[in-house]
């Protein structure tokens, strides 16, 4: 089990396409809403980051389950893979219901406390009124994805994601603008379309598992094991909290931008939407690292871990840097795709340049961080995250104390964040005793 560049690429590609297609759901929402109004474009940024921060709690649990599934897969304990999968599915399904109820009860109060503009608040609540139904579909879907990624059987994720994006585009076209006899719902239609796309994606993967996966090999039959569920939660709780705090500062970032004005918020959403496409490249390879590292350790090939990380970094650069150069060369066209408001496009240009440069640091930062997760040392990564959050928020607070700070300066907070993450993760992998962790 010595993963070559080709093997890494073939395993990663479906994951990357899957993540890309998911981000295209938010991407297409922003494109459609950018041609409705500045307020809807800006409000969708706040609502999307708020939704995503909560979604990352479920994503964090799925990462912990993925680590255990990959370890059992590497050890050849295939029946245990099915047991872990079912406990993850049960947990995430129950958790989805709890999160949905809490969101309905408390989101109006929390968002009212943080958003100063009444018009932005009203638009944000219209979006969240339908978007929070996605939790009921997205969380179980995360459990299924953990199974496919953990067993390095990722090709179906590509087809599933393509189906979801196509559905989202169709639903947006029909529901945002009221085409083909459907009601004109605006920002509510965007949220409704995204939730329906998640439902279609979940049903697609359930049908595929039922028809194509070897149920005897993986012992795929419903069962509940409290001890195993608690074991998974013990491993996953740190990735859950860490994943939440990866995105929560982004929500606070947009809250800070919202206080600058509706135009600045709209410009920030344009840059965020484009940045998420680059983040997909970084995050897909980093997510691949989790499974491959855990498989290597399960197969007792610990010396291969750091060389694997270096190969993943080089592959990520090989794909990302040409796209960065192309995006810069076509910046006017790319930014104009989201809105025909020239003022918004002008305000977005310099933050866009800062965002592109951040990619260079983020590649090794997220790769080494997820390598640590792959070793099973999730608590260590949580500690890294908390240290980083304190530095990040302190930097944002310092910027907010000065009037007339340009929007691009706020984007340098991302550079601070990934630089600190890189230093901590790399030093730990070189100096820490990560190879003794049992899961």
Confidence of residue 431 (pLDDT cuts 50, 70, 90): confident
End-to-end CA distance of the chain: 20
- SS3 at position 113: helix
- What is the structure's pLDDT at 401? 83
Weakest-pLDDT range from 146-150, 253-257, 382-386? 253-257
Comparing C-alpha atoms, which of 245, 255, 248, 146 is closest to residue 205? 146
Weakest-pLDDT range from 189-203, 392-406, 413-427? 392-406
Confidence of residue 365 (pLDDT cuts 50, 70, 90): very high
Q: How many CB atoms lie within 10 A of CB 294?
A: 28
- What is the structure's pLDDT at 421? 92
Alpha-carbon Rg for the chain in angstroms: 21
The reported pTM is 0.74
262 vs 107, residue with greater confidence? 107
Residue 280: which residues within 8 A CB-CB, separation 6 or more?
16, 19, 20, 23
Q: Is the pLDDT of residue 26 over 80?
A: no
- What is the structure's pLDDT at 61? 92
Mean pLDDT of the chain: 86
Between CA 14 and CA 368 the distance in angstroms is 21
- What is the structure's pLDDT at 437? 64
- SS3 at position 339: coil
Q: Is the pLDDT of residue 403 over 80?
A: no
- What is the structure's pLDDT at 397? 86
- What is the structure's pLDDT at 391? 92
Cα distances (angstroms) measured from residue 49 to each of 89, 245, 253: 24, 12, 10
- What is the structure's pLDDT at 435? 66
Joined tokens for residue 186? 């605006």
Confidence of residue 105 (pLDDT cuts 50, 70, 90): very high
> Where do we find the tokens 């970084």?
282
Sequence length of the chain is 439
Q: Is the pLDDT of residue 201 over 90?
A: yes
Between CA 287 and CA 294 the distance in angstroms is 11
Residue 238: which residues within 8 A CB-CB, separation 6 or more?
64, 378, 379, 381, 382
Q: Is the pLDDT of residue 321 over 90?
A: yes
Q: Check: CB of residue 384 under 8 Å from CB of residue 419.
A: no
Confidence of residue 439 (pLDDT cuts 50, 70, 90): low
Helices (H), 76-186: 78-114, 118-131, 134-150, 155-175
- What is the structure's pLDDT at 100? 97
Q: What is the pLDDT of residues 225-278, one digit of tens each?
A: 888 888 888 888 888 887 887 777 777 787 778 777 778 877 887 888 788 888
Comparing C-alpha atoms, which of 30, 55, 41 is closest to residue 123? 41
Q: Is the pLDDT of residue 215 over 90?
A: no
78-114 vs 226-258: helix axis angle to the nearest 10? 30
Q: How many CA atoms lie within 13 Å of 259's alpha carbon, on the beta-carbon side? A: 17
Between CA 182 and CA 213 the distance in angstroms is 38
């Amino acid at each position: 089990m010595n993963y070559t560049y080709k093997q890494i690429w073939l395993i990663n590609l479906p994951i990357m396409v899957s993540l890309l297609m998911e981000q295209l759901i938010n991407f297409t929402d922003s494109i459609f809403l950018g041609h409705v109004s500045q307020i809807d474009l800006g409000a969708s940024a706040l609502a999307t980051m708020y939704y995503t921060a909560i979604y990352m709690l479920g994503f964090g649990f799925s990462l912990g389950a993925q680590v255990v599934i990959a370890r059992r897969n590497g050890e050849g304990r295939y029946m245990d893979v099915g047991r872990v999968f079912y406990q993850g599915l049960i947990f995430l399904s129950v958790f989805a219901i709890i999160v949905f109820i809490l969101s309905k009860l408390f989101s109006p109060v929390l968002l009212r406390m943080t958003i100063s503009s009444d018009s932005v608040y009203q638009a944000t609540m219209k979006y969240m009124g339908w978007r929070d139904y996605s939790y009921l579909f997205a969380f179980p879907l995360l459990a299924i994805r953990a199974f496919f990624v953990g067993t390095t059987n990722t090709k179906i994720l590509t087809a599933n994601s393509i189906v979801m994006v196509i559905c989202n585009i169709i639903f947006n076209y029909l529901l945002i603008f009221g085409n083909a006899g459907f009601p004109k719902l605006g920002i509510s239609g965007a949220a409704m379309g995204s939730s329906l796309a998640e439902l279609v994606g979940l049903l697609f993967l359930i049908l595929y598992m039922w028809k194509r996966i070897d149920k005897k090999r993986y012992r795929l039959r419903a069962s509940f094991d409290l001890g195993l569920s608690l074991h998974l939660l013990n491993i996953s709780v740190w990735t859950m909290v860490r994943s939440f705090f990866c995105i929560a500062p982004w929500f606070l970032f947009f809250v800070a931008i919202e206080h600058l004005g509706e135009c600045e918020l709209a410009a920030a959403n344009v840059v965020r939407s484009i940045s998420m496409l680059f983040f997909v490249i970084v995050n897909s390879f980093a997510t691949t690292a989790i499974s491959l590292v855990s498989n290597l350790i399960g197969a007792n090939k610990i010396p291969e871990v750091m060389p694997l990380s270096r190969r993943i970094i080089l592959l990520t650069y090989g794909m990302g840097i040409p796209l960065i150069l192309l995006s810069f060369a076509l910046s006017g066209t790319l930014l104009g795709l989201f809105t025909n408001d020239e003022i918004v496009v002008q305000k977005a240009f310099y933050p866009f340049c800062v965002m592109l440069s951040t990619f260079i640091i983020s590649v090794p930062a997220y790769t080494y961080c997820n390598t640590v997760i792959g070793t099973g040392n999730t608590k260590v990564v949580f500690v890294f995250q908390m240290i980083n959050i304190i530095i990040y928020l302190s930097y944002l607070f310092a910027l907010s104390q000065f009037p007339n700070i340009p929007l691009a300066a706020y984007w340098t907070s991302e550079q601070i964040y990934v630089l600190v993450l890189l230093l901590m993760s790399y030093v730990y992998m070189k100096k820490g005793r990560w190879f003794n962790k049992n899961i």
